[in-house]
Amino acid sequence: MIERLLTAALLFGGAFTSASSAAQDPPPQDPADPAEAPPPAEEPAEAPPAQAEPAAPAPVARYEPTIVTARKWEETPQDVPQSLRVMGETALRDAGIRSMREASFLVPNLFINEFTSRRLTFPTIRGVGSGVGDPAVTTYIDGVPQLTINSTNLPMLDVERIEFLRGPQGTLYGRNSIGGLIHILTKRPGDSLEFRGGGTFGNYDLQEYELGASGPLVADELFFSLAGLHSSRDGYTFNTFTGNDVDDRDSLFGRGQLLWTPDERSEIRLTFHGEKSRDGGFALSELTGLRRQPHRINQDFEGVAHRDLLGTSLTWNYFGDEVDFVSISGFQDWDVFETSDFDFSFIDGIRRRTEESQQYFSQEFRLSSSEDRPVDLGEGAQLKWLGGLSFFVSDSDRLAANNFRPGGAGILFPPGQVGLDTQWGDFEDFSIAPFGQVTLILDERLELTGGLRYDFEHKEGTVNHTFETGGFTVLSTRTSLDRDFDAVVPKLSAAYHFSDNVMAYGLAAMGFKAGGFNLNAPTGRLSFDQETSWTYEVGVKSTFLDERLAVNASLFHIDWDDLQLSLFDAMTGGYIANAASATSRGFEIELGVRPAEGWDLFAGLGFTDAQFDHFVDPFGTNVSGRSLAFVPERTWNFGAQYTGRLCESATWYVRGEYVGVGTYYYDAGNRAGEQFELANFRVGVRSRNVSVEGWVRNAFEQDYVLVAFQPSPVDPSVFVGESGAPQTFGVSVNITF
């Protein structure tokens, strides 16, 4: 089915002469991040080289304009009437960011918790998030949605910018963006031939080797780029039972693209990325012991975490005199294989095996008013519009097997339970959604926007359950599941520009997340309902002091029903269940200032108060009024960077940042939680062709347990967790020619 739809979509899209999104043309800069200051681009179709000539400290320390595509058309971040944060290539490089979680510390009210298995990465924005299952904060890569968390945590290789959109984005981006959206946009190839290589070396035997090439294949018409990264390190955690390090990592990742520009109106862009990772197993241990001895576990069995994935996208764009057209086709294929010690101890009690795979095809067709020519309504009024259709089809397989071994009989479970308990299922998913949005601009000051989307999703699946003991199958069941989910998702916003430098806005938006099926769950919990929310937000975006100071602030209130909570059962593992309702309220404020030549200062603060209105947790405790799990009360960051001239052809820089995550809880009952602060420092020298940098993360060796859960079905005070990343340091060298 996927192959037929892929062929049909390519034939349909091929009837148009079009181009990849022009929104990715200019190198971006985030006004809220003074570390992001690439030179302005005169040629939008050419991305800056990976190691561009370092700019001298600007004579006038002002913010240069940048472009984002949060509303699927080009505009500056300061003109978008919603809370967002943009990190461009320079900001990512200066901060030494190599993963999404490292980037999250610089985004107020975004918190990402993750296990040592790199596929289990769970973003939460303003208290809205998820665990296993579909995300509540969706990740897009070059306009293609990542339907699950399994394909989102990828290396920051050849990334041009990341747009972090806070609040529901369902009107334009669809289901499962109820909390927000993370959009990763990759670099476009330039029109001059370039080769580059680099290496990073650090403690825990960290070794990263990167190679890349970019340039024209046919002058002024056909361009290419290729990049590859091999990364490995030893484990952060020591297993006292075996004497081995666990949670090591080893991966090979590649990214490439072809860009064809047959004429000035048209473009076709083909991108692809792939990964093969072979990582060590989970580093889980009982919470009390982990706090006493960080990065120590005592397990008789050490598992593995393997992931293979391939992602492609094909984007056509045609820029007309009055109407623009875009088609984005995406295909994703991934599979994971994991084993783990499921009793988390030296007892040979329970071993777990997880296998999952998915193939899906997504398609979006979109028409809009011309980027350069909005509809003129007369008397100073203009209209911008867009409308489109998106759909996807998905096939996935999931398996979870618990091996109850004799060593745990009578200690962890009754002797008669020894055997292999296996659940596996096949799941199909189809979704289609028409959508549209219009923006009315009056006197270049007042802007009114309305959007509407209808989301329909059909899910079906078959779940099988067997139990084998003594060579005999004593239990075998098969359950068929079939459900539809739909919602009408509106959004309204109003913005007023008091001047060229100050804008205030307000919005109301609905969020929608489809329901679905658990593979393994307690009796009666195989299916769960859809989740909905309403978000209300007001904010201001401003620049002062001749654009040397940028200040953005927003207030929000969220009401949502039927929350999909990630829970844990000792026999079946993680599963999804609905809570009754919850409320979240808070604010975020971000500022950046360039007080003098060479200096960049930045700070951000987010506050979130997210509480259950009504919910009884799996242990029978009424947790109404308590905080949602994994929602920090505060997230904050501040830092500075100084760039100076070393000689005529080289600069040097030094950077420091301090980030904090306020109190959050591991469970709905708020029985245990964490808070931590991290300091990161970098120093480096850059010339046109060479850069050398030294860095340290978690410089003050903060010990913390990032993630934990309750494994016992009867004792809610018992938690099992994993230590956060320890102090790491190293040196990075890059060469471009």
Which residue is listed with tokens 């890569």?
A: 141
Residue-level pLDDT at 471: 86
Rounded Cα distance, 226 and 305, in Å: 27
The encoded tokens of residue 423 equal 């659940």
Average pLDDT of the residues in 273-297:
95
Q: Would you say residue 39 has pLDDT above 50?
A: no
Residue 419's alpha-carbon distances to 276, 375, 571, in angstroms, are 32, 69, 13
703 band by pLDDT with thresholds 50, 70 and 90? very high
Residue 504's alpha-carbon distances to 31, 68, 445, 552, in angstroms, are 16, 19, 11, 10
Residue-level pLDDT at 457: 96
The encoded tokens of residue 50 equal 């990976």
Full DSSP string of 91-143 = HHHHTT--SHHHHHTTSTTEEEEE-SSTT-EEEEETTEE-SSSS-SEEEEETT
Residue-level pLDDT at 160: 93
| DSSP three-state, residue 505 | strand
Residue-wise pLDDT tens digits, 431-490: 999 999 999 999 889 999 999 999 999 999 999 999 999 889 999 999 999 999 999 999
573 band by pLDDT with thresholds 50, 70 and 90? low
Q: How many CA atoms lie within 13 A of 397 on its CB side?
A: 8
Residue-wise pLDDT tens digits, 314-365: 999 999 999 999 999 999 999 999 999 999 999 999 999 999 999 999 999 9
Q: Would you say residue 47 has pLDDT above 70?
A: no
Q: Where are the domains of the chain?
A: 2-736
Residue with the larger pLDDT of the pair 395 and 152: 395
| 478 in Cβ contact with 463 (< 8 Å) | yes
Rounded Cα distance, 484 and 492, in Å: 27
| 193 in Cβ contact with 216 (< 8 Å) | yes
Residue-level pLDDT at 65: 55
* CB neighbourhood size of 263 (10 A): 10
64 band by pLDDT with thresholds 50, 70 and 90? low
Give the full edge-to-edge strand order of the sheet including 84-88: 84-88, 159-166, 180-186, 137-141, 144-146
Q: Would you say residue 20 has pLDDT above 70?
A: no
Q: Show Cβ contacts of residue 560 under 8 Å, excluding neighbours closer than 6 positions.
A: 128, 178, 511, 531, 532, 533, 534, 581, 582, 583, 584
| 505 in Cβ contact with 495 (< 8 Å) | yes
| 384 in Cβ contact with 73 (< 8 Å) | yes
Residue-wise pLDDT tens digits, 401-421: 999 999 988 888 888 899 999
Rounded Cα distance, 401 and 253, in Å: 29
> Between vectors from CA 168 to CA 164 and to CA 173, what angle results, nearest 5°?
80
Give the full edge-to-edge strand order of the sheet including 720-723: 285-286, 720-723, 705-709
| 137 in Cβ contact with 149 (< 8 Å) | no
Q: How many CA atoms lie within 13 A of 373 on its CB side?
A: 7
Average pLDDT of the residues in 591-596:
93
* CB neighbourhood size of 519 (10 A): 26
Q: How many CA atoms lie within 13 A of 97 on its CB side?
A: 28
Least confident of 37-46, 146-155, 539-548: 37-46
Which residue is listed with tokens 């069941």?
A: 477
* CB neighbourhood size of 737 (10 A): 11
Rounded Cα distance, 447 and 78, in Å: 14
Which backbone phi and psi does 459 adopt, to 5 degrees? -125, 140
Q: Would you say residue 691 has pLDDT above 90?
A: yes
| DSSP three-state, residue 355 | strand
Residue-wise pLDDT tens digits, 175-196: 889 999 999 999 999 899 999 9
Rounded Cα distance, 705 and 291, in Å: 7
- Whether this prediction's pTM lies above 0.85 is answered by yes
Residue-level pLDDT at 13: 37
260 band by pLDDT with thresholds 50, 70 and 90? very high
Residue with the larger pLDDT of the pair 63 and 536: 536
645 band by pLDDT with thresholds 50, 70 and 90? very high
Average pLDDT of the residues in 596-621:
93
Average pLDDT, the chain: 89
Q: How many CA atoms lie within 13 A of 244 on its CB side?
A: 12
| Residue among 215, 164, 209, 210 nearest 187 (CA) | 215
| Residue among 10, 81, 86 nearest 604 (CA) | 86
| Residue among 406, 361, 435 nearest 144 (CA) | 361
Class of domain 2-736: mainly beta
Full DSSP string of 283-332 = --EEHHHHHHSTTEE--S---EEEEEEEEEEEEEEEE-SSEEEEEEEEEE
Rounded Cα distance, 505 and 446, in Å: 10
| Residue among 679, 662, 685, 657 nearest 728 (CA) | 679
121 band by pLDDT with thresholds 50, 70 and 90? confident
Largest CA distance in the chain: 84
List beta partners, residue 104: none
Residue-level pLDDT at 16: 31
